[in-house]
Amino acid sequence: MGHDKLRKFAENETFSCLLQPSASDILGEGGYFALTDHPVKGNWRKTMFGGAGQECPLVLELGCGKGEYTIDLARRNPGSCYVGVDIKGARLWRGAKTATAEGLGNVAFLRTRIEFLTALFAPGEVDEIWLTFSDPQMKSENSRLSSPLFLERYRQILKPGGKVHLKTDSRFLHEYTAAVCRANGLKVQCCTTDLYGEDPLSSGDIPSVAREVQTFYEKMFLEQGYKITYMSFVIDKEGPYVHPEEFDTALWRELEGPRRSFSHQPNKK
């Protein structure tokens, strides 16, 4: 391990806004479906946000990377509390350091696996979830952060009518998520396949923050000429979530082509 990573890991231990629960304390013999609750569960506003009242919305960004999206949301909305979640400590260091330097009392970071969410957040404790440029996981449906498996986890921690935002450069993931919503009768509040352009099939009122707050990766993709998609939907279904039979995985995988990389420059027309 490089010296810079070791330095960041050591500094992470000093950030009060960064929670790093031990996986061994959460994951027991029963696996992901028999987790041990962490003391912060149900107590985020009290423990991590200085006793913020229950009326303070709690918003998660899953797979937050360096946390720039979480930080920007927190700057714009001081009346809400934000938690960036990622498993990579070296990435979270950047967000935690920025939050500490700026004295942002409404932002925290959580180093953990997304599979552990139900051990860390109580039923109804979370108001909204952002999925920003998640890996589309084309070959593993259950690994997609908008799959029925993950939606079930989100349902357990979201308040009634809780919302999920999906912002991605992957048309594959966008169309898959739309198919999941249709298969489960989930209410899609707004949807567009071209957030910054003209999309005649756009529906609903897209929140301004969806355009105004951009991740590092989003800026890179926009510079390369890729379209950004966005949708928001409500987790409001009772009963088990089902997989979408109508989604043509092979077709959308072929249409999307190889996963985009920063070294790839699209042809300009």
- Please write the tens of the pLDDT for every residue from 74-104: 999 999 999 999 999 999 999 999 999 999 9
**Taken in order 166, 195, 168, 192, is the CA torsion positive or negative?**
positive
Residue 260: pLDDT band with limits 50, 70, 90: low
pLDDT at 202: 93
What is the spatial distance between Cα 138 and Cα 71, in angstroms, rounded to a whole number? Answer: 29
Q: Any bridge partners for residue 107, and if so which?
A: 82
pLDDT at 47: 93
Q: In 3-state terms, what secondary structure has residue 266?
A: coil
Largest separation between any pair of C-alpha atoms in the chain: 56
What is the spatial distance between Cα 110 and Cα 139, in angstroms, rounded to a whole number? Answer: 27
Residues contacting residue 9 through CB under 8 Å, at least 6 positions apart: 89, 90, 93
**φ/ψ (deg, to 5) at 8:** -65, -40
CB 108 within 8 A of CB 49: yes
pLDDT at 200: 87
Mean of pLDDT values over 224-245: 94
Mean of pLDDT values over 128-137: 96
Active site (catalytic) residues: 135
pLDDT at residue 241 is higher than 80: yes
Query: In angstroms, how far is CA 124 from the centroid of its own chain?
Result: 17
- Which domains are delineated in the chain? 3-255 (3.40.50.150)
- Please write the tens of the pLDDT for every residue from 19-68: 999 998 898 777 777 899 999 999 999 999 987 777 899 999 999 999 99
pLDDT at residue 265 is higher than 70: no
**Taken in order 9, 14, 15, 19, is the CA torsion positive or negative?**
positive
pLDDT at residue 264 is higher than 70: no
